Structures are given as C-alpha cells and as structure tokens.
Amino acid sequence: MRDFVRLSDAWHGRPDLFQAVMDGYGRRFTPDEEAHLTILSVLDSVSGISYGTAHDDPELVERGRRTLARLRAAQRP
C-alpha cells in the first residue's frame, strides 16, 4: 500500500486515473487495504509537512496539506 500513497494524490478527482491504477493492479483494494492506505497517507502527509517546512520545500508542504484536507473531507480520522 505504501507505493499507492503518492499516487493517490494524482488520482484524486480523476476517476479515470484511479480506474487505470486499479486495472493495472488487477483488482480493487480490500477494506483493510483502504484503511492501511489512509493511515499511511496521514503519516506521509505529516512527515512531508514537517520535512518540507524544515527544508523550505513549499510543494511538499502543500501536498501534505492537500492530502490531509482530502482525507478530512472524506470524514476519515
């Protein structure tokens, strides 16, 4: 699931890209995999925000914030 964390930002709002990833993967994610993806996405976001802030990388900070906002909008903790 870790490999899908960064890809999930690209397919957000693009059902065609999400479907292409699922087609390539060969199946949809299981509920456990979706939960794992959410957890890993939160950890990656917080890490990116922290690293990006410390190393003056505004794009990394923005990606982290965008991911957290997306997860929050989906009502996931």
Q: What is the pLDDT of residue 77?
A: 47
Instruction: Return d(Cα 58, Cα 48) in angstroms, integer.
Output: 10
Per-residue pLDDT, 6:
86
Predicted confidence band of residue 74 (pLDDT cuts 50, 70, 90): confident
Which pTM does this prediction carry? 0.85
HEC string for the chain: CHHHHHHHHHHCCCHHHHHHHHHHHCCCCCHHHHHHHHHHHHHHHHHHHHHHHHCCCHHHHHHHHHHHHHHHHCCCC
> Over 90: is that where the pLDDT of 21 sits?
yes
Tens-place pLDDT, residues 29-68: 999 999 999 999 999 999 999 999 999 999 999 999 999 9
